[in-house]
Every structure is written in C-alpha cells, then in structure tokens.
C-alpha cells in the first residue's frame, strides 16, 4: 500500500457519507469541531483498514502483540506511566528508553526501562549533547520494534534520527507548548523550523488538548500529520471504582477550610496568595501541599514561617489520590494572570482538574483558563479574576465559605463522566497505532 495515511484521511470523508471532502489547505483549522471530526475520521479509517470494530468492550486478546519503544524525557512522570500501562492492556509490549532527570516520580510505567542518558535542565546545548550520546542505543532498539511512542519534541527528534533510513512509525505526544515555540525572536523562529521538520516526519500527533493540535501544529506550523486528542483524564477502571466509594470531606462550620495544592509546586504567585490568606485568617483556612517542590518556590521557607501550611511529601498516582483528595475541601487549580503566549494555561487542563471532578472536590480556577469554562458551566467552584495578591486573597476569603463549598460539592456529582474520565479514547488510539504498523510493513 503506497497511499499515505494523511491522504487516506481525506478519502475517509466519503466513508462517512460526506459528499464533498475538503483538502488539507481548505480546512479552517481554527474550527475545533472540524479538527475533532478529522481525528475521529482518521481513527475510523484505521478501524476499516484493520477490520477491527471500535467497540471498547471488545477483547483485544486475539490481536497480535506489537513491540513498542517508548521515548521518555524522565522516569516516573504520571502521564507517561498512565499512557504506557493503558496501551499495554491493548497489546503493546513496551520497552522504555528514558533519561534520568530530577523530577516528580509519581508513576513509573510497568515495563522494562533502559536509561540512555541524563537530562540537563535549562541548557539546550547540554540537552542536545545528551541526545547525540543516546543516539546509537536508540537506533539499535528502534530497528527491532514495530512502532515508537515519543513524549515531547526532543524525544521525537531522537526517534526520527534513530529511525534513519527505516520505516518504523513514530507517534509524538505533546502536553505542553513551551514559550520558545511561540516566541517571535530568532530563537523562536529556529525552534519552529526544527519543530515542523520533526513533526512532519512523525506519523501521528497526540495532544492533550484540541487547541494544541489545531492552533499550533495545524494553523501556525502548517503541519497536517493526522492527530488525535487524549486529555489527562483519569483511568476508567480506577475512576469507576473510586467514584462509587468517594466520600468528600464534610467539615463542620467551625473547622478550618483546607485548600489542596497538589502536583508540581512551583508557582510563586499562588503560594504568596495562599500565604496571605492563611496569615489574615489563621482560624478559617489551611493549605495542604503534596507533590514535587519545583526550585522556583522555596517551600521550606514558607513552611517554617506559616503554621497553616502543611506538606505531606510526594505522592504516587493513582494509589495516593484518594488519600490526598479526601483530606481537603477545595483544590487549587489557579494561576497568575494568563498572558497572550501562555498557551498551556489558556488551552490545557491540569491533572488536578480531572482528579477533583472524580473525587467531588470543588476547585479554584483562573479566569480565561480552559478549565474555568467547565467550572462556571457546572458551578463547581470559584473562578479567580483578580491579579494583585491582596485582592486575590480577599476574593478567596469572601467566597470560600462552608455554604458555597457544600453547594459546589453537590454540583460536582452531576458533572458528566466523560468530562474527567476516559471512555473510548484509548481504544481509538490503539486502533490508529495498529493501522500505522499495518501501513508501514
């Protein structure tokens, strides 16, 4: 078969009864509904190629196991572990090639891990040297696999170089748009040239939000590699079991309200706002921190001077999630004011949003963020619209009351399951990845 998967994607419109199928240059990539439809059409095509029903209840035990190499920039990032463990359940036998890095180790994937180097933080030359040193081992490993799953642009670059002169399909997953990708400087322009070169040589893009795919890759870079959206939702099996037994904390009217700040703890503005709040109202509020302490915040200093700041250490996902969410009344999912180039904050939801919905814990969100839309729509928390630290603390003190929290908790129970929990997304991804293997072998 010589027709490319991209070309087949446009042809697949006729399979769905669309009389006039658009060409890539005729698509308005700013139309999120159209972009999502293209992703679904691509996966529908994969199902047709493989003659595999897209019924998520169908057993995949009779399908041939596929050998997959996963390229990891660090070991233990929860999203990486979640992806690889779930794909393993769908017949992908994985070996992870990973870099050692000082980072939150919340979920190590359940597969063999080969360390191929040590990541260098905030030094592009050092990171490039680490990739070059890892190239021989990566190339040897890729030669013997069916498909590669790379997390991030640098891992995709290494995979493309490791595949040199080969045909192995490469899937690139993107969860962040970093500032240099949208920077107007010469460094930003050079980065986008490299980014487009790498992405164009991948066979599938997986993004954690539709806007990364439509606005950055398809509209700004002009890349039309097939894409699919896989948000950072909770695992279906874990979510179903936890939701049935979820018991939200219901403090009495005299108990302090506990605010949970979980995950990467690295926002100075957030910590200052919370410190101001508990200093002004020591009998009303406490803040519970859990996760990885990023160097941008000297949390030890705050803990030493703020009695109402509590830190329980790092946690393992999903094992420890019921415990940490069961101890708080509201989750901090807020940020400083969102600037025009803050694509992550504007278009992506953090893990804390999905997990809070699962455990029926209200949230504090930032106005203009992706999650603030659902917070306002379902009335499940507070949307922060203030910038100054003092004003933000005043808003929290006014609106974080026991009465409001009780109503938000009740509203949480009505949030549709597919907002925070996976349904058929991984079945679609697995079908498409099998189609890629079929097309390139």
As beta bridge partners, residue 204 has 171
pLDDT for res 308 = 97
Strand, helix or coil for residue 306: coil
In the structure encoding, which two tokens stand for residue 61, read together? 């035990």
pTM: 0.83
Do 114 and 257 fall within a single domain?
Answer: no
In the structure encoding, which two tokens stand for residue 191, read together? 């980065």
* Length in residues, the chain: 441
Do 196 and 52 fall within a single domain?
Answer: yes
pLDDT for res 49 = 44
Show Cβ contacts of residue 36 under 8 Å, excluding neighbours closer than 6 positions: 210, 229
In the structure encoding, which two tokens stand for residue 120, read together? 């260098």
Mutual angle of helices 351-358 and 236-245, in 10-degree steps: 40
Do 249 and 197 fall within a single domain?
Answer: no
Do 226 and 257 fall within a single domain?
Answer: no
C-alpha to C-alpha distance for 318 and 90, rounded to whole angstroms: 20
pLDDT for res 414 = 95
- Please state the φ and ψ torsions of residue 76, each to the nearest 5 degrees: 105, 0
Q: What is the pLDDT of residues 364-382, one digit of tens each?
A: 999 999 999 999 999 999 9
Range of 288's domain?
237-420
Q: What is the pLDDT of residues 142-197, one digit of tens each?
A: 998 999 999 999 999 999 999 998 999 999 999 988 878 888 899 899 999 999 99
Do 427 and 407 fall within a single domain?
Answer: no
The verdict on whether omega for the bond into residue 318 sits within 30 degrees of 0, i.e. cis, is yes
Round to the nearest angstrom and report the end-to-end CA distance of the chain: 9
Q: How many CA atoms lie within 13 A of 227 on its CB side?
A: 29
Do 251 and 122 fall within a single domain?
Answer: no
CB 147 within 8 Å of CB 64: no
In the structure encoding, which two tokens stand for residue 413, read together? 């129970």
Strand, helix or coil for residue 267: coil
Distances in whole angstroms, Cα of residue 269 to Cα of each of 127, 211, 351, 382, 390:
29, 26, 20, 17, 11
Enclosing H/E stretch for 375? helix 370-378
Closest CA to 56 of 67, 66, 43, 68: 43
C-alpha to C-alpha distance for 247 and 359, rounded to whole angstroms: 8
pLDDT for res 299 = 95
Cα torsion at 26, 31, 37, 39 (round to 10°)? 80
H helical segments located in 232-317: 236-245, 268-280, 299-305
CB atoms inside a 10 Å sphere around CB 166: 13
C-alpha to C-alpha distance for 136 and 168, rounded to whole angstroms: 16
Do 22 and 136 fall within a single domain?
Answer: yes
CB atoms inside a 10 Å sphere around CB 12: 22
How far is CA 103 from its chain centroid?
16
Distances in whole angstroms, Cα of residue 286 to Cα of each of 151, 281, 307, 311, 329:
36, 9, 9, 11, 10
% of the chain with per-residue pLDDT over 90: 66
In the structure encoding, which two tokens stand for residue 376, read together? 């306002």
C-alpha to C-alpha distance for 142 and 144, rounded to whole angstroms: 5
Q: Structurally, how many domains does the chain consist of?
A: 2
C-alpha to C-alpha distance for 69 and 146, rounded to whole angstroms: 8
Q: What is the DSSP string of 41-89?
A: HHHHHHHHHHT----TTS--TTSPPEEEEEEESSS--HHHHHHHHHHHT
Do 342 and 395 fall within a single domain?
Answer: yes
- Please state the φ and ψ torsions of residue 205, each to the nearest 5 degrees: -110, 130
Q: Which residues of the chain have a pLDDT value below 50?
A: 1-41, 43-58, 61
Do 395 and 433 fall within a single domain?
Answer: no
In the structure encoding, which two tokens stand for residue 228, read together? 């699919």
CA angle at 98 for the pair 145 and 264, rounded to the nearest 5°: 135
As beta bridge partners, residue 366 has 384
Do 107 and 88 fall within a single domain?
Answer: yes
Distances in whole angstroms, Cα of residue 311 to Cα of each of 157, 273, 292, 333:
38, 17, 10, 17
Residue ranges with strand state E in 268-398: 285-293, 309-311, 330-333, 363-366, 381-384
Do 264 and 361 fall within a single domain?
Answer: yes
In the structure encoding, which two tokens stand for residue 373, read together? 């839309």
CB 250 within 8 Å of CB 405: no
Do 260 and 409 fall within a single domain?
Answer: yes
C-alpha to C-alpha distance for 12 and 21, rounded to whole angstroms: 8
CATH number for the domain that contains residue 338:
3.40.50.2000
């Amino acid at each position: 078969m010589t027709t490319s998967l991209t070309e087949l994607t446009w042809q697949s419109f006729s399979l769905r009864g669309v009389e006039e199928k658009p060409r890539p240059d005729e698509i308005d990539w700013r139309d999120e509904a159209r972009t999502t439809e293209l992703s679904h059409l691509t996966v529908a095509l994969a199902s047709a190629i493989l003659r595999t029903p897209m019924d998520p209840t169908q057993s995949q035990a009779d399908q041939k196991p596929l050998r997959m190499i996963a390229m990891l920039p660090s070991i233990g990032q929860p999203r990486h572990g979640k992806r690889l463990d779930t794909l393993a359940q769908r017949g992908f036998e994985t070996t992870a090639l990973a870099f050692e890095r000082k980072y939150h180790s919340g979920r190590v994937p359940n597969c063999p891990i080969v360390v191929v180097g040590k990541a260098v933080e905030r030094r592009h030359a050092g990171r490039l040297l680490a990739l070059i040193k890892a190239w021989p081992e990566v190339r040897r490993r890729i030669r013997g696999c069916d498909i590669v799953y790379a997390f991030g642009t640098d891992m995709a670059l290494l995979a493309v170089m490791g595949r040199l002169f080969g045909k192995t399909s490469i899937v690139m997953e993107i969860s962040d748009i970093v500032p240099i990708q949208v920077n107007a400087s010469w460094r930003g322009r050079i980065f986008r040239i490299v980014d487009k070169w790498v992405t164009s040589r991948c066979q599938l893009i997986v993004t954690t939000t539709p806007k990364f795919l439509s606005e950055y890759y398809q509209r700004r870079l002009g890349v039309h590699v097939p894409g699919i959206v896989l948000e950072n939702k909770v695992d279906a099996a874990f979510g179903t079991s936890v939701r049935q037994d979820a018991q939200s904390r219901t403090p009495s009217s005299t108990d302090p309200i506990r605010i949970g700040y979980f995950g990467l703890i690295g926002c100075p503005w957030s910590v200052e706002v919370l410190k101001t709040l508990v200093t002004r109202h020591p009998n009303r509020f406490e803040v519970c921190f859990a996760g990885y302490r990023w160097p941008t915040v000297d949390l030890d200093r705050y803990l030493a001077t703020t009695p109402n700041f509590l830190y329980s250490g790092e946690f393992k996902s999903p094992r420890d999630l019921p415990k940490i969410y069961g101890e708080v009344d509201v989750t901090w999912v807020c940020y400083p004011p969102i600037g025009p180039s803050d694509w992550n904050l504007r278009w992506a939801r953090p893990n804390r949003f999905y997990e809070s919905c699962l455990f029926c814990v209200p949230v504090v969100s930032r106005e203009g963020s992706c999650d603030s839309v659902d917070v306002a729509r379902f009335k499940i928390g507070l949307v922060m619209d203030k910038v100054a630290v003092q004003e933000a603390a005043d808003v929290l003190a006014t609106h974080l009351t026991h009465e409001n929290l009780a109503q938000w908790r009740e509203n949480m129970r009505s949030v549709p399951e597919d907002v925070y929990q996976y349904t058929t997304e991984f079945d679609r991804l697995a079908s498409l990845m099998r189609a890629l293997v079929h097309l390139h072998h």
